[in-house]
Chain A
């Protein structure tokens, strides 16, 4: 036996532990001192793997994104959930029993009861004894007051319903646009790029026909109140424009874009208005102007609540419409800066950035983005295309 300290004793010595005998040996033995120094250097190297602290601004942005993705309600504790589950099961069971009872009565009902209202005639006679379902009579009578089925409305009404009346609600800050909206914007952006590829569906036109009228009416309302645009009206403007854009000729769109520009939406400090300026220009296919407006937004509101969305739309525009990858890459970087899990369009951003990297000759960057795409979004519709691209890149020198 050599008497040297083994690995375990050396690591303990590193922690300041060990017996007096071990410490004495360590003080005298150069071999053990050397081994201890190696362990110390290895542990110092390990500390390089620690995370850098997150900046407060970064944290705030992460928090914004997180809160936007949270469900409205906190899940109740598990013991509460158990009771809720039981209550739900009991309610469901009672409802089923009641339904069965109604069905049985319906089958056995004599023909001369048809004069009574349909639901009432199926109910059993009130009885002091508990019914099979155990429900109180009040529960049954609630069936009488059940709301009638909604009248069938023409499909176009749904588009109208989305537009609030200017006098209907107090001026409240608009909600942030959902990622679904943004994904839709992106779809529209790519569709507008190549309208011939997808002929309009006649049923779509049926939905959209009133949109041009609605847009005109909406714009007229905004123009009639210069300098005091209700936010609700402003917020619905891009939606209306998006729907109407597919029916309008380029010249008409250009006129509308000009009218929107004349609304002086870009009031200083108005983040929402600045965002709308960027988005409406995009939808009106005024791409160079849209890029300027979007980048103006990003300069003025780099930490704005829509900064990522604007960056993504601008990056897509730079790549798809202006074929300018040098401009697109930093915008994609900005769009992807904070997290990838909560945004539905991030797969497109990774793919777009990869294609730009490839175009700019950065094959390693392209491979990295494509691998990330596959890792994060293995089920997305374009994964075959991505795999094919990766194979091509691996063959590249």
Chain B
């Protein structure tokens, strides 16, 4: 009996995840794509199924795109754009990867496009001599007056601002590895790059984030870091 190539690929993928990262495999890798029936209904034009798909995965998409974009209040726009894109392209999803892998890929693609557009815009609006990394100001009134903001909010704003200073490629692997707890293999599958490249990129991303934080006086104060020697 011939097995479905898509399911064979998925099983191989799961085995690889289990081999490299047993802990992650236990918690997140299903033995088959649980979204498959829902996706099939969406592909048949079932709007109720698409609604269910949205409600099931919007949180995941939000968690993915949120660290990748500079303006946090744009996150919901990006989530909607992602699902508009999913709706447009779901007919071409053939089940060669897990649906969540494909969805994350779409989310990253849309978030990157959005971020690129924002960066271009922000660059065109920047006052000469202004610190290009002073993204905290963009977060709105709360950050302009830290005394008014709660400490937790201020720390979160600062963490996002530091993250936003990293190049988008590093930001993506850092967000997927640290904030989504995905393994190098899973990230490699999403980004379509070798796992070794993911590990290398992740190392540089972590190192750069740490350096940025330690060079920022507010970050050293708020996060208990030491300035580099």
A residues apposed to B, CB below 8 Å? 7-8, 11, 38-39, 41-51, 53-54, 59-60, 62-63, 65-67, 69-78, 80-81, 338-342, 362, 364-365, 368, 371, 374-375, 378, 394
The answer to whether A45 and B80 have CB atoms under 8 Å apart is no
Q: Would you give the shortest CB distance from A197 to chain B, in whole angstroms? A: 33
The answer to whether B121 and A11 have CB atoms under 8 Å apart is no
In the complex, chain B residues 121-173 whose Cβ is within 8 Å of any chain A Cβ: 121, 125, 127, 138, 140-141, 144, 152, 155-156, 158-160, 162-163
The answer to whether B66 and A45 have CB atoms under 8 Å apart is no
Can you identify 21 A-B contacts, CB atoms within 8 angstroms?
A11-B207, A38-B214, A41-B225, A42-B223, A48-B159, A50-B179, A51-B62, A51-B66, A51-B67, A62-B79, A62-B80, A70-B50, A70-B84, A74-B42, A74-B45, A77-B92, A339-B77, A364-B141, A364-B144, A371-B125, A374-B121
The verdict on A46 contacting B163 (CB below 8 Å), with A7-B207, A11-B203, A67-B50 known, is yes
CA distance A228 to B45 in the complex (A): 36
Does B59 have its Cβ within 8 Å of any Cβ on chain A? Answer: yes
The verdict on A375 contacting B91 (CB below 8 Å), with A50-B66, A59-B55, A67-B51 known, is no
In the complex, chain B residues 83-132 whose Cβ is within 8 Å of any chain A Cβ: 83-84, 87-92, 94, 117-118, 121, 125, 127
Does B226 have its Cβ within 8 Å of any Cβ on chain A? Answer: yes
Q: Would you give the shortest CB distance from B150 to chain A, in whole angstroms? A: 12
The verdict on A49 contacting B76 (CB below 8 Å), with A7-B207, A42-B210, A371-B125 known, is no
List the A side residues contacting B80 at CB < 8 Å: 62, 65-66, 69, 339, 341-342
The answer to whether B155 and A48 have CB atoms under 8 Å apart is yes
Q: Would you give the shortest CB distance from B171 to chain A, in whole angstroms? A: 10
The answer to whether A368 and B140 have CB atoms under 8 Å apart is yes
The answer to whether B84 and A49 have CB atoms under 8 Å apart is no
Q: Would you give the shortest CB distance from A189 to chain B, in whole angstroms? A: 26
Top 8 nearest A-B pairs (CB, nearest first) are A51-B66, A42-B210, A48-B159, A49-B159, A45-B223, A77-B91, A78-B92, A48-B156
Residue from A42, A67, A73 in contact with B214 in the complex, judged by beta carbons closer than 8 Å:
A42
Residue from A42, A49, A75, A78 in contact with B160 in the complex, judged by beta carbons closer than 8 Å:
A49
The answer to whether B91 and A76 have CB atoms under 8 Å apart is yes
CA distance A7 to B210 in the complex (A): 10
Residue on A nearest B212 in the bound complex, by CB: A42
CA distance A314 to B86 in the complex (A): 34
List the A side residues contacting B140 at CB < 8 Å: 364-365, 368
Q: Would you give the shortest CB distance from A112 to chain B, in whole angstroms? A: 54
Does B19 have its Cβ within 8 Å of any Cβ on chain A? Answer: no
Q: Would you give the shortest CB distance from B19 to chain A, in whole angstroms? A: 15
Q: Would you give the shortest CB distance from A67 to chain B, in whole angstroms? A: 6
B residues apposed to A, CB below 8 Å? 42-45, 47, 50-51, 54-55, 58-59, 62-63, 66-67, 75-77, 79-81, 83-84, 87-92, 94, 117-118, 121, 125, 127, 138, 140-141, 144, 152, 155-156, 158-160, 162-163, 174-175, 178-179, 203, 206-207, 209-210, 213-214, 219, 222-226
A46-B179, A77-B43, A378-B121 are known; give 15 further A-B pairs, CB within 8 A: A43-B210, A45-B159, A47-B178, A49-B156, A53-B63, A62-B79, A66-B80, A67-B54, A69-B80, A70-B87, A75-B89, A81-B91, A339-B76, A368-B141, A374-B125
**Which residue, of A46, A63, A365, has the highest number of chain B Cβ atoms within 10 A?**
A46
Q: Would you give the shortest CB distance from B174 to chain A, in whole angstroms? A: 7
CA distance A368 to B137 in the complex (A): 10
List the A side residues contacting B42 at CB < 8 Å: 74
**Which residue, of A44, A63, A371, has the highest number of chain B Cβ atoms within 10 A?**
A63
List the B side residues contacting A75 at CB < 8 Å: 88-92
The verdict on A41 contacting B223 (CB below 8 Å), with A46-B209, A66-B80, A66-B84 known, is yes
The answer to whether A63 and B91 have CB atoms under 8 Å apart is no
**Which residue, of B55, B138, B158, has the highest number of chain A Cβ atoms within 10 A?**
B55
CA distance A69 to B77 in the complex (A): 13
The verdict on A63 contacting B63 (CB below 8 Å), with A38-B210, A75-B88, A78-B92 known, is no
List the B side residues contacting A7 at CB < 8 Å: 203, 207
CA distance A64 to B63 in the complex (A): 20
List the A side residues contacting B45 at CB < 8 Å: 72-74
Q: Would you give the shortest CB distance from B89 to chain A, in whole angstroms? A: 7
The answer to whether A54 and B58 have CB atoms under 8 Å apart is yes
List the B side residues contacting A8 at CB < 8 Å: 203
CA distance A73 to B91 in the complex (A): 10
List the B side residues contacting A48 at CB < 8 Å: 152, 155-156, 158-160
CA distance A77 to B92 in the complex (A): 4
Residue on B nearest A369 in the bound complex, by CB: B140
The answer to whether B91 and A45 have CB atoms under 8 Å apart is no
The answer to whether B59 and A53 have CB atoms under 8 Å apart is yes
Residue from B62, B117, B155, B174 in contact with A45 in the complex, judged by beta carbons closer than 8 Å:
B155
The answer to whether B206 and A43 have CB atoms under 8 Å apart is yes
CA distance A11 to B162 in the complex (A): 19
CA distance A70 to B53 in the complex (A): 14
The answer to whether B121 and A375 have CB atoms under 8 Å apart is yes
List the A side residues contacting B51 at CB < 8 Å: 63, 67
CA distance A375 to B42 in the complex (A): 33
Q: Would you give the shortest CB distance from B63 to chain A, in whole angstroms? A: 5
CA distance A339 to B75 in the complex (A): 8
Residue on A nearest B143 in the bound complex, by CB: A364
The answer to whether A44 and B223 have CB atoms under 8 Å apart is yes
